[in-house]
Chains A and B, each alone.
Chain A
Amino acid sequence: MPDGEVLLDVSGLSVRFPTSDGVVNAVDDLSFQVRRGETFGIVGESGSGKSVTNLALLGLLNRRAANIEGTALFKGRDLLTMPPGELRRIRGKEIAMIFQDPFACLHPMYRVGDQLVEAIRAHERVPRRQAAERAIEVLAAVGIPKPRERFRDYPHQYSGGMRQRAMIAMALLLNPDVLIADEPTTALDVTVQAQILELIDRVKKEFDIAVVLITHDLGVVAEVAQTVMVMYAGRAMEQGPRQQVFGKPLHPYTWGLLESIPHVDQKVSRLVPIEGAPPSLIFVPPGCPFHPRCPHRFGPCDQKRPEFRDRGGGHAEACHLSADEKRTLWAERQERFTRAAV
């Protein structure tokens, strides 16, 4: 467990969208803590609620359209009930964010430098020249070559990787405590992805911040996160230290995910897919939402919702199977998996 101070303390977060087709249960009773100095990875497939969680924390959901419950304490203040003006002072300054698409996040008709200066001056009263100097410094810190010249460029003169660097620079300008990165490398090629992941890891250490990394890519989370939360149908299925979740996974959904991904360094004769498809969030299956796709379902799975409980060492999960049954089942599955390796 990382031992930095708790920066974000989310408890019982639920987000529901009433629509004409029914209520969409986007996030259902989610609780987690993020500490200074750690990268907290949220992983899930599309529609698992990972991005909505992020938007709810930042107050970016329309509160009239979304029904938000629970608390999200940032340094003791609740982000979910805070007046918009107060939240605006935190967002972008103390909690910064970067998004998937660096193309859409920079205004195409303003110089990159001007956009950075604007970000500083939206929060602090500093002279333009001084803000520009700071922006150039941060551009250099995120690895933009010739930052003084690049400062005057327009976004289209930057490559995809450089735009994402510029976005990271913008996020770091005001010395945030938390950086929320929502699929920061999904739009990038693999060699550039490696550069950006390395950069995020480096700024996390240099600026001593907490990073919340949201992604669908298990490899990315496994590579850079210290704590991992696996989401499915708006709920947390499993959460814990990286070594635990990937080394000794406890939830059948996590097992399924790990087995269905082809690896670069190992060839198996046959992948084991998870049968079926993720459920509609309007008609979430009763009991455990994963039960219709779970090969190990039994009695209570379609009736009773499994409790999300800590099974020791900060490794929590929501499944009705007992610890012993799980150990046996996972050992069997691994055995089968190893035999399939060629």
Chain B
Amino acid sequence: MEPLVEVEGLTKRFPIHRGLLQRTVGHVHAVEDVTFSIRRGETLGLVGESGCGKSTTARLILKLLEATEGTIRFEGRDITRLSAREMRPLRRELQMVFQDPYSSLNPRQTVGQIVGTPFAIHGIEGSTRSKVQDLMERVGLNPEHYNRYPHEFSGGQRQRIGVARALALSPKLIVCDEPVSALDVSIQAQILNLLLSLQHDFALTYLFISHDLGVVRHVSDRIAVMYLGRIVEIGDAGDVYGVPKHPYTAALLSAVPTGEAGGEMKRERIILSGDVPSPVDPPPGCAFHPRCPKARLVTGSPDEVPENCRTEIPPLRNSGGRQQAACWYPLRPDDELQRVVSHEPRGS
């Protein structure tokens, strides 16, 4: 079956203007050469730290931003260079759920107006009110609250309004950009369960973005890990989390506090030194090499990394496991770094 979305060599650079003449003095390399596809009915999780380009990637796919290079195909059709007018019929198929349920709903509109607007824009016939109330019921809101304003709802309920709006036109792809990050933990699970049951009922495809690795694991069939604008590892959720191939994935997973240390911080953990470098001037070669613990194991010195890590960009390729990783020295099953993160499943 053909994938729903195919992205090839996707690149986005934002120019930096300086001075009186607003000359371009450099670029923010937000997304660099990203290639992946999303199959129908699956959830692709996109994880990474802030500034790694995951939200930019989502916005490029939805054509809220214009790609600098590369192609985006939706149902086999190249949509990369479509104009806003040409995109309009396609908008029905591509929807988005935003992070902040406070700022993404117009405070001056009622729920009925918010969820009903897509029907008006696309000139859908029939009673908008009954359609909106069906949707409200489906996402777990009381349909009688049709005339209420967003401020009368709690954070979790507002996010349900956002979901209902995204669902209104029966889209094929929903991009969820940090949909539960602004919610309390006891509410997060409600929204995650809602998204999963909607996916099941309406055969939806999700691109799910989050910085919370546990949340992504829970909802995703496949996972792509991004670092400084590039995908460093992509594959089935179980493979990427269970036997990570890229040292960055391993470090990211080991950094998540799970409580297994027993209050003593004793758990083996890969602590990365330093911070994510600036995307204005990404390091040459593998962007992760200045922080990479594996490269230092290879050379056996804390100050040295192998030459190809510094000079050549590693391609995303199959390296032993089922997933693909962009690394010259991918982790092997007996690797010290991989042992740190592969746990025995608990409770069994």
Contact = CB atoms under 8 A, between A and B. Distances in A.
Contacts of B217: 262-264, 267
B265 A197 contact: yes
B263 A216 contact: no
Contact of B213 (A192, A217, A218, A264): A264
Scoring A189, A220, A222 by chain B CB atoms within 10 A of each residue's CB, the highest score goes to A189
B186 A190 contact: no
A46 B187 CA distance: 11
B255 A220 contact: no
Contact of B271 (A198, A225, A274): A198
Nearest to A341: B347
Contacts of B85: none
B334 interface: no
Contacts of B190: 273, 275
Given A220-B257, A222-B263, A264-B214, A191 B186 contact: no
A329 interface: no
A226 B263 contact: yes
Given A216-B185, A262-B192, A264-B213, A223 B275 contact: no
Interface residues of B, number: 50
B173 interface: no
Interface stretch (A14-22, A55-63, A167-175, A253-261): A253-261
B214 A271 contact: no
A265 B237 contact: no
A265 B255 contact: no
A271 B213 CA distance: 15
B110 interface: no
B187 A338 contact: no
Interface string B232-270: 000001100100000000011111111111110101010
Contacts of B50: 189
Given A194-B255, A225-B263, A261 B154 contact: no
Contacts of A147: none
Nearest to A225: B263
Interface stretch (A121-129, A158-166, A320-328): A158-166
A261 B262 contact: no
A119 interface: no
Nearest to A145: B274
Contacts, number: 150
Contacts of B272: 191, 194-195
A262 B192 CA distance: 10
Interface string B321-348: 0000000000000000000000101111
B189 A264 contact: no
B265 A223 contact: yes
Contacts of A193: 255, 257
B273 to A, nearest CB: 8
A190 B271 CA distance: 10
A201 interface: yes
A267 B265 CA distance: 24
B211 interface: yes
Contacts of A268: 218
B276 interface: yes
B311 interface: no
Interface centre among B259, B265, B348 (most CB of A within 10 A): B259
B345 A266 contact: yes
Contacts of A242: 259, 262-263
Nearest to B261: A223
Interface in B175-215: 184-190, 192-193, 196, 211-215
Contacts of A304: none
A197 B254 CA distance: 13
A126 B348 CA distance: 60
7 contacts: A191-B252, A223-B260, A224-B261, A260-B189, A265-B346, A272-B189, A273-B186
Given A194-B255, A219-B259, A265-B258, 12 more contacts: A160-B275, A190-B255, A197-B257, A216-B184, A218-B185, A224-B257, A243-B262, A263-B217, A273-B193, A274-B186, A277-B154, A278-B184
Interface of A: 39, 45-46, 159-162, 189-195, 197-198, 201, 216-226, 242-243, 246, 256-257, 259-268, 270-275, 277-278, 293, 334, 337-338, 341
10 cross-chain pairs, A with B, having the tightest CB-CB distances, nearest first: A222-B259, A273-B189, A262-B218, A260-B189, A223-B257, A189-B49, A219-B257, A194-B255, A45-B184, A274-B186
